[in-house]
Structure 1
Amino acid sequence: MPQFGLRVALGAALLCSPALGSAAPATVESDLATVLKFGPRVTGSAAGEQARTYFEEQFRALGYDTRREGFTYARFDDLGSDVRVGDRPLSGLALQGTAGGEVSASVILVPGVGTPEDFQKVDARGKVAVVKRGQIPFGQKARNALTAGAAGLIVVNNEAGDLHGTLGERMVLPVLAVTPEVGAALREGQPVTLRVRVHEGEVRGVNVVASKSGVTQPDWLFGGHLDSVTGAPGANDNLSGSLAVLELARRVVSTPIAARSSFVLFDGEEDGLRGSRVFVKDHPGVVQHLKAMFNFDMVGVNVMPLAVGGDSELVEAARQAVPTLGTFRAGGDSDHAPFSQAGVPVLFFHRGLDEHYHQPGDTLADPALIRGAVDTALKAVDAVLGAASAGK
């Protein structure tokens, strides 16, 4: 881990400064209520812009400068796909890379997960093939269906809930992913109409960066993604993390750490960490200088007690500061990943995937849990500074 240039006195200021107490009123509740009213914050949406503007106003009211950093990328959107049984539409999600189109044909239930051997057991020619999720990539299932002459493919999730996924390549076959309940409603030989409605085009994402005037080489970066997925208000995923970043900025505003930090709300995380990847790519000097990146993602619902993952020394420092803190292996599925890949020590704060993950029911987050994540983060910062000062 790089040496931390700040002194332990700075860490003490984090815990002792009046800014951590009554001088900085807690407004997580009002922030949460306000932003949730905007609706799902899909990258490129009006709701995302409203949320971005609101956060900018809050940072500026605290005395931070803000700037927007825009970027564009190609995105695949499902415009409303389903499989119709008679007059009854059964909703599903198009797998990224699928061709759009409408196919009317009979159902063929393919035993297994759609391997070549599975398709050899049935006659799928001109039919809508139905296979289970698992064992092989979605793209291989689709290629096997094409080879077998299927006119369309339905992949049934092997666990509760919607199935989001990608084929990994462009396919001329319409492919729909459905829940176990929808899969159970499909019968052998049943006439259905598979409707896959998709659009591919360019979308504009916008990161919001807040810092004190003149901060160009921060030691610390505190971040979380502001976007959510289609149909999900995203209270926990990840308004909770965005509010943790804002609350942390409130807490430290009158301490020396504010002059050494940047606070970033990333866009496009749900589309493949787009915002954090662009930030790392566009700011090599800033990234190289960073002592640590703290990432907050889904910290408003206590599926599991608050846990951290990432750089081993940061994790150890956080655990020493908060012995009850859990740990987990931080993978590449959130905005810390591009920073870690660039050599920046990272600490990822997370409370687990709740039952409403990526669902319309993601409407609740507990402000007390969000504040608790911030409390822990500040103690971790203080512990890291103390360790650095002691030469550990």
Structure 2
Amino acid sequence: MMRPPLLLLAALPALLLAAACSSRDPAAAPPAEASPSPPAPASPAASPAPSPPASRTTPARGQASGPAGHDADLAFAHIAALTREPRVAGTPAELRAVEYLEAQLASFGYDVERMPFTFQDDPFRVGEVRVRGAALEALTMSGSPGGTVEAPSIFVGLADDAGIAGRDLAGRIAVAERGGLTFAAKYQNVAAAGAIGLVVVNNQPGPFSGNLTLEARFPVVSVAREPGADLVDAARAGERVAITAPQPSGGTPAFNVIARPPGTAACAIIVGGHFDTVPGAPGANDNASGTANVLELARAFAVGGPRPGLCFALFGAEESGLHGSRALVERLRSDGALPRYMVNLDVTGIGQRIEVIGESPAASRAIDLARAAGLDAVPSRLPPNSGSDHMSFADAGVEIVFFTSGDFSTIHSPRDVADAIDRRILDAIGDAAFLLVSDLLREVG
């Protein structure tokens, strides 16, 4: 769920951007001297933000099995797999999610396309810190260059004189705690001692971003307090750490994953939802829940063979501005291949009832079909200044239906975890979408 369009950052937890516009760290005490300025996807080694690969292994096409209808347990298994890490557009974690989605859809018997696109003005420069075989999500500070460095680490406390304690940091990655000094002062202190990288660990729950107000010579990133505890332990022991920071300029690469029945020339119906997240959010409800329901509907409708004209799309970079769905719509429109219907699933795992958004006959039909099956479905609207991928299709004149469970209380936060998902509403929305898509297939077939 993108909330709000173009002003997305305002919807993140306050800590995320607390220092983004100032050299002063709001969590720091005033310094004595101010600074002058199904199986989860594999976890590859740290690398720069993904770009369209020259070659890759295409997942083998399989054959769907299981019940010929939506199954909540199968959907929840996808949520559990996807929420092991945030899936921010342009990050290695996004690519790992893409590989998972491709493998699942191919196993159901679809032809699967990885659609690369780029977008400008990325609100998130998300990288990674790798320590002890784990990849920690990191936010790149403004003023930091991109690139990857790997070296022995060293813990420097607040990166002040007491923390550095006169030690030679040459060839090491410094790990510091947030607070006490400005981010610029921390950087200057460890750089003067010879460090080649800096990670600042939050002293409060959740992630945060910072502004160095200077151009650094090496990557400077921040990590959340909770995963950062293991990093601090590793730095105290001098273990090797790797920092990957994205480049500060140019377009951000991202991906859509599209599934079509073999031999399908055009999609009469597209069922979709976004799979990306904001930084620091596991994104169970927003939107592993919608992604999982899309995957489960793709499986259910492929039992006995995929249905001609029924396609599935999982969008990247929704949280950054609906970029993935807009890229697909633009391509379909230029090809003269827009679908007749688009069914969107976003935030479908926490709530009391099925909420149906759309002012089309298909949306009314969705409510009627659900109620006839004993499901509690009501017409609804998005909260003010919110958006989702259905809007890209609606703007192109495609008839849309948007299913959501209507509870946005955990989204864009570390509390958006798989344990909070209610399988009852997840299943109810999956069942309602299955009924609608089945009815639409009879119409377009």
Give how far 1:259 is off: 1.6
- CA deviations 1:46-72 (Å, max 9, x no partner) are 211111111111111111110111011
Query: Displacement of 1:360 after TM fit?
Result: 1.1
Is 1:378 the counterpart of 2:434? The answer is: yes
Matched, 1:65 2:111: yes
- Deviation, 1:248, is 0.3
State how far apart, in whole Å, the 1-side matches of 2:294 and 2:408 are.
20
Q: Which amino acid aligns with 2:107?
A: A
1:226 corresponds to which of 275, 278, 283: 275
CA distance in 2, matches of 1:385, 1:69: 25
Question: Match of 2:432, as an amino acid?
Answer: T
1:335 maps onto 2:389 in alignment: yes
Q: Aligned pair in 2 of structure 1 residues 73, 343: CA closer, same or farther (>3 Å)?
A: same
1:354 Cα deviation after fit: 2.9
* Larger strand percent: 1
The aligned counterpart of 1:211 is: 260
Match of 1:20 in 2: 68
Question: Following the alignment from structure 2 to structure 1, what is the Cα–Cα distance between the partners of residues 140 and 91?
Answer: 17
Compute the TM-score of the two structures, normalised by the length of structure 2: 0.54
Within-5 A mapping of 1:110-121: none
Deviations 1:181-224 (A, max 9, x none): xxxxxxxxxxxxxxxxx955431010000111111211110000
Structure 1 pair 360–373 and aligned structure 2 pair: CA distance change class (3 A):
same
Equivalent residue for 2:317, pick from 254, 264, 268: 268
Distance 1:102 1:206 in 2: 34
Report the Cα distance in structure 2 between the residues aligned to 1:362 and 1:57, rounded to whole angstroms: 25
Distance 1:266 1:255, change over 3 A: same
Residue aligning to 1:352: 406
Q: Distance in 1 between matches of 2:335 and 2:306?
A: 16
Aligned residue pairs, count: 273
Alignment of structure 1 residues 159-198 onto 2, 5 Å: none
- Within a 5 Å distance, the mapping from 1:1-392 to structure 2 comes to 19-20=67-68, 26-37=73-84, 39-74=85-120, 75-77=122-124, 79=139, 199-254=248-303, 258-284=307-333, 288-302=337-351, 304-323=352-371, 324-330=376-382, 333-364=387-418, 365-384=421-440
Select the structure that is richer in helix.
1
CA apart distance, 1:240: 0.5
Structure 2 vs 1, CA of residues 30 and 386 (structure 1 numbering), >3 Å: closer, same or farther? closer
Residues 333 and 48 (structure 1 numbering): CA distance in 2 closer, same or farther, change over 3 Å? Answer: same
Residue 19 of structure 1: CA displacement?
A: 4.7
Unaligned runs of 5+ in 1: 1-16, 91-100, 104-160, 165-197
In 2 relative to 1, CA 319–228 (structure 1 residues): closer, same or farther, beyond 3 Å?
same
- What's the TM-score once normalised by structure 1's chain length? 0.61
- Change in CA separation of 1:382 and 1:262 when aligned onto 2, cut-off 3 Å: closer
Contact 2:274–2:287 at 8 Å: present in 1 too? yes
Q: Whole-Å Cα distance in 1 between the matches of residues 353 and 77 of structure 2?
A: 24
Distance 1:72 1:387 in 2: 36
The two structures, once aligned, show a CA RMSD in angstroms of 3.8
- For residues 303 and 260 of structure 2, what CA distance do their matches in structure 1 show? 13
Secondary structure, aligned partner of 1:299: coil
Distance 1:314 1:292 in 2: 8
Partners of 1:386 and 1:55 in 2: CA distance: 27
Q: Residue by residue, what CA displacement relative to the aligned partner does 1:303-343 show, whole Å, maximum 9, x if unpaired?
A: x4111111320121112112331111358610000100000
Distance 2:398 2:386 in 1: 14
Which 5+ residue runs of structure 2 have no aligned equivalent?
Answer: 1-64, 126-138, 143-159, 161-176, 186-205, 210-246
- Would the alpha carbon gap of residues 258 and 240 (structure 1) be closer, same or farther in structure 2, given more than 3 Å must change? same
In the TM superposition, what is the alpha-carbon distance from 1:20 to its structure 2 partner? Answer: 1.6
Contact 1:41-1:51 at 8 Å conserved across structures: yes
Separation in 2 of the partners of 1:260 and 1:387?
11
Q: Separation in 2 of the partners of 1:332 and 1:273?
A: 11
Give, as a single letter, the amino acid of the residue that structure 2 aligns with 1:202. Answer: G
How far apart are the structure 2 equivalents of 1:286 and 1:300? 35
Structure 2: distance between partners of 1:336 and 1:163: 30
Q: Could you tell me the percent identity over the aligned residues? A: 32
Please say which of residues 284-293 and 55-64 is displaced more in the overlay: 284-293
